[in-house]
Amino acid sequence: MAEDLKSKVMTTDAGRPVGDNQNSLTVGPRGPVVFEDYLLFEKMAHFNRERIPERVVHAKGSGAYGTFTVTSTEINKYTTAKLFEKTGKQTPTFIRFSTVGGEKGSADSERDPRGFALKFYTEEGNWDMVGNNTPVFFIRDPLKFSDFIHTQKRDPETNLKSPTMMWDFWSLSPESLHQVTILFSDRGTPDGYRHMDGFSSHTFSLINAKGELFYCKWHFKTRQGIKNFTREEADQMKSVDMDHSQSDLFGAIEKGDFPKWKVSVQIMPEAEAETYHINPFDLTKVWPHGDYPLIEVGELELNRNPVNYFAEVEQAAFEPRNVVPGMGFSPDKMLQGRLISYPDAHRYRLGVNYDTLPVNAPKCPYHTYHTDGTMRFESKSGPNYEPNSFGGPTQDKKFNERPTTLPNPTVARWDHREHDGDYFTQPGNLFRLMAPDAQERLCGNIAASLGKVEKRIQDLQISHFYKCDPKYGEGIAKAIGRDIKEIVKAEELVAAK
């Protein structure tokens, strides 16, 4: 069976042989994904339809309504977005927290990243900030997203979660090291949603009144303080309250203990993105705060629970393509993939008119020519085409997107490991920032999972950790009962072949 698998060439659904399943088709090594990438869209479209009716990822979650209040207007140097125009201005919001890999019935305390998705109901339309509680992710190319998520779900043969699938993929994808280090640290098991930070993770952009573009990353710092479970406490909570994060959030808001987050942004001028020593559009890396410090913008407060979970939380649909004038996107490949994947997933899961549901609809006036489709409930008269001579809504060129200049117009499947293969410095820096007891827990958490897989996968993965920091690799090897010298020597021999 194994020999048969090795002899087969991967193809598309139509049988076309695939020459590169590791890199999306982009405009230069740092440019955006192009629409003709048939393989990416085939994989993402198929992936979005694999499971019904729950979300493919982020299936279990909690939601709440709140208010965003501007506390500083410094951001107005970088954007014309009206929600930031004056101190004290408030915008209603809705948030959905979630675990990522688990099903709807899974435990809230599982070791997993947490979704941190916000919908701002602004006067210029909805702004959806669809992020996580981590500033980075496991991969940097959307072509690998479905492959990665498959390793976090259940083995198709046993229907069990598989450490082998996870570590096999991670060991062959060293770009995952930064996020793996966060996942298996104390922050991989947050004590409820109120005690964790949120991040846009992706690089977005802001445009000011002069037409100048600035790249940005959003940060939401909890006012409640970071609070995490140890691995043992997280496991114990599964038997005490499977819905701990849900009950904690709902209960706090119910009794008037409204959770808050400080909202800040990092800003990078457009010209600096071309020469900065770190690819600013690489989702596996952070922007050092010493180079791009946090700029305070406002405060988020959650102050109202939903009345009906299904209508307001289960049917909530967030999508990173929802930005307002004065905001834009970036060549972040993972973001580019999500711009298409998210609305496609919503149309499949909720129906083509998902964005007219009360929790998803804008609070400002909006006018489109979209008609018909499943669950269309509005009674609309007039033409359903544009242009028309009957006074229907028309375009306004002042809202055209700002033109984007790309430094390298060559379209190809650029190998990101060839152009930028340093996946060891930042996770190594993160490891060295941890206190000795936190380092010990991190190594123990990894060993508890990695120790269940076969030695060849252990060897490759531990050699990656060793490159981040020798103490990192040594600590995991010791916790598994392995000799780090033998592992490093064996991997050096493999690399030399």
Residue 15, pLDDT above cutoff 50: yes
Query: Token pair for residue 90?
Result: 């408030």
| Residues 448-495 pLDDT 10s | 999 999 999 999 999 999 999 999 999 999 999 999 999 988 777 667
| Residues 237-246 pLDDT 10s | 999 999 999 9
Instruction: Please choose, from the candidates 305, 306, 208, 226, the residue with its C-alpha nearest in 3D space to the C-alpha of residue 262.
Output: 226
Instruction: Please choose, from the candidates 61, 60, 101, 239, the residue with its C-alpha nearest in 3D space to the C-alpha of residue 183.
Output: 101
| Residues 216-229 pLDDT 10s | 999 999 999 999 99
Catalytic residue among 23, 48, 58, 133: 58
Told to judge if 408 belongs to the known catalytic residues of this protein, a careful annotator would answer no
pLDDT at 5: 53
Distance CA 222, CA 201 (A): 16
pLDDT at 3: 43
Q: What's the rounded mean pLDDT across residues 35-46?
A: 88
Please give the CATH number for the structural domain made up of 2-364.
2.40.180.10
| Residues 59-108 pLDDT 10s | 999 999 999 999 999 999 999 999 999 999 999 999 999 999 999 999 99
Task: Check residues 289 and 38 and name the one with the higher pLDDT.
Answer: 289
| Residues 315-365 pLDDT 10s | 999 999 999 999 999 999 999 999 999 999 999 999 999 999 999 999 988
In 155-222, alpha helices (H): 163-171, 177-183
Distance CA 331, CA 327 (A): 14
Catalytic residue among 23, 48, 126, 132: 132
Q: Are strands 213-222 and 198-199 parallel, antiparallel or unpaired?
A: antiparallel
Q: Which residues pair with 114 in a beta bridge?
A: 99
Task: Check residues 432 and 402 and name the one with the higher pLDDT.
Answer: 432
What HEC string does 245-306 produce? HHHHHHHHHHCCCCCEEEEEEEEEEHHHHCCCCCCCCCCCCCCCCCCCCCEEEEEEEEEECC
Told to judge if 228 belongs to the known catalytic residues of this protein, a careful annotator would answer no
Domain ranges of the chain: 2-364, 425-496
